[in-house]
Structure 1
Amino acid sequence: METVVIGVVIVIVFLGLLGALSIRLVQQYQRGIVFRFGRVLTPVREPGLRLIVPVADRMVRVSMQTTVIGVPPQGAITRDNVTLTVDAVVYYRVVDPVKALVNVHDYPSAVLQVAQTALRSVIGKADLDTLLGDRERINAELKAVIDAPTEKPWGLLIERVEVKDVALPEGMKRSMSRQAEAERERRARVIAADGEYQASRRLADASRAMAGTPGAYQLRLLQTVVDVAAEKNSTLVMPFPVELLRFFDKFTRDTEPPAAERPQAGRPEPAAPVAGDGHRGPLT
């Protein structure tokens, strides 16, 4: 009886060990590649519980998720001979797990090496203004350069490449700062000059409009006085009204005698006649 129990226990343990060696679990984001005596078996194992032949088969699980790797800072020289340091980030995923395992050893490391080489190559073909101002173009070129040697032979798809940071030398930073400051000053002067030009045109139009109405100058003067008085100044200087001067000038012209009645200089006035014998003499 004891022998039978021991035999049953041994069988159960053997079956459990055989099941443990035969059953493999493939996650939803994975694909299983089975090697039988070193050769790849098709098809690729889909997610779920999968059976393999113990000892003869070996399963390798490959993740199909998007993987992100950071490219360390790389020193490069741009086309316009500016030395800088650039780092980037690469997003890729496996599209053919068989090629990723068979055709390349340690594909994450291989992608990193290709990304470093491509980063230095693309930066060397671009100038500094393009690198700083047209980042989308640089990213597209990096993606194309990295994707070419990795998609078909390695079964990898480069989804996205982004340049993270561009470190410029301190001297270049100071030069760019001075250039930006000069550009802002130029724009400020142009805007100020344009404003002065427009203001002068408006003042000229206003002057022509008020020329036909002399009272408009006096109204403008009164408005200016009100504006100045609102500032709470201790002293207010009032200009003499021009209209009052014109009034006095007109009044003076109206009250002057005609030219025929004015005495002429250098000619004595005639003496008044004396009644009597016709002789003139002093009055006593």
Structure 2
Amino acid sequence: MSAWLVAGVIVALLVLGVLVASARVLKEYERGVAFRLGRLRPALTPGLCLLLPGLDKLVRVDLRVVTLTIPPQEVITKDNVPARVNAVVLFQVTDPVRSVMAVENHAVATSQIAQTTLRSVVGRADLDTLLAHRADLNEDLARTIDAQTTPWGVQVNVVEIKDVEIPEAMQRAMAREAEAERERRAKVINAHGELQASEELRQAAETLSRNPASLQLRYLQTLLELGADQNSTVVFPLPIDIVGPFIDKLPHLVDHFHANSNGTSRPPAESTPQPDRSG
């Protein structure tokens, strides 16, 4: 009886060991792709799964979003500017079976496809597009990479260009170009301001010319403003309509002065009577 008991205990321990060895636990974000003697089995769902030791092989597939950093790539833009561009790719597995059956390592394959696509897409764009319209390039990259990874059961969600490095000489040239552009805009704005100011001055002059009294009030206001600044020198503009009448009469006054100076002589002095000294 003791021998049978020992044998039963041994068999029970063996069965328990087989069950422990064949038990697998899949997490909620994982899926299992199992092969029995090299043949594909249906995908395993999360929870406890039993596999035959030595006969079944389990491949775990993570369904979470994976962040893949693309190392800096040496590219030449469409306008022959060398640059170093790096990016980040966010992808996830949508079909666990195809991600195992269609490609050896879907993460490495996606990384290589992303690198080659990044060089190709950036090479078709010029430097201004790469710097100013990066969102369009990101959409083009995501669409191109996703089209190549979809047969593998991998979906590319986002592709973002992180940084663009250009030569220092090109940076200085771009800085000079930006400075020249700002100066041009400043000159244009100044010219528009002068044009608007001249138009406003013309309208103000027309309004003041309708009433001479308003022009005199404007001159008095100008004097008041000059006096408030405590200036040592005050320049007072005298309107021409005030001195105009005097200027018109000035030739007549000069002619009259010359006529009087030429036609008038000084009267002779009267002789003083001498006293009579005869006795």
Q: The TM-score by the shorter chain falls in which range? A: 0.7 to 0.9
Shift of 1:142: 1.3
**For residues 91-132 of structure 1, what are the alpha-carbon distances to aligned partners after superposition, in whole Å with 9 as ceiling and x for unaligned?**
111111111112211221111111111111111111111111
Match of 2:36 in 1: 36
> Does 1:235 pair with 2:232?
yes
Match of 1:24 in 2: 24
Determine if contact 2:226/2:234 at 8 Å carries over to the other structure: no
Which of 239-248 and 44-53 deviates more? 239-248
AA matched with 1:82 = V
What is the Cα-based RMSD across aligned positions, in Å? 3.0
Determine if contact 1:218/1:241 at 8 Å carries over to the other structure: no
Match of 2:271 in 1: none
Partners in 1 of 2:22 and 2:45 — Cα distance? 16
> Does 1:121 pair with 2:117?
no
Which of 157-166 and 5-14 deviates more? 5-14
> Gapped runs of 5+ residues in structure 1?
257-261, 270-284
Match of 1:217 in 2: 215
Paired residue secondary structure (1:16): helix
Match of 1:196 in 2: 194
Match of 2:185 in 1: 187
Structure 1 segments (4+ residues) deviating >6 Å? 266-269
Match of 1:206 in 2: 204
TM-score w.r.t. length of structure 2: 0.82
Partners in 2 of 1:212 and 1:100 — Cα distance? 88
Partners in 2 of 1:224 and 1:21 — Cα distance? 103
AA matched with 1:237 = V
Shift of 1:12: 4.6
Determine if contact 2:31/2:63 at 8 Å carries over to the other structure: yes
Which structure carries more helix by proportion?
A: 2
Identity of aligned residues (%): 41
**For residues 251-281 of structure 1, what are the alpha-carbon distances to aligned partners after superposition, in whole Å with 9 as ceiling and x for unaligned?**
x98xx9xxxxx9xx59989xxxxxxxxxxxx
Match of 2:135 in 1: 136
Match of 1:275 in 2: none
Partners in 2 of 1:51 and 1:150 — Cα distance? 31
AA matched with 2:167 = P
Shift of 1:191: 0.4
Shift of 1:11: 4.4
Paired residue secondary structure (1:204): helix
TM-score w.r.t. length of structure 1: 0.80
Shift of 1:179: 0.7
Partners in 1 of 2:90 and 2:102 — Cα distance? 20
Partners in 2 of 1:244 and 1:201 — Cα distance? 24
Shift of 1:246: 5.2
> Does 1:164 pair with 2:172?
no
Match of 1:85 in 2: 84
Determine if contact 1:24/1:49 at 8 Å carries over to the other structure: yes
Determine if contact 1:218/1:243 at 8 Å carries over to the other structure: no
Shift of 1:220: 1.6
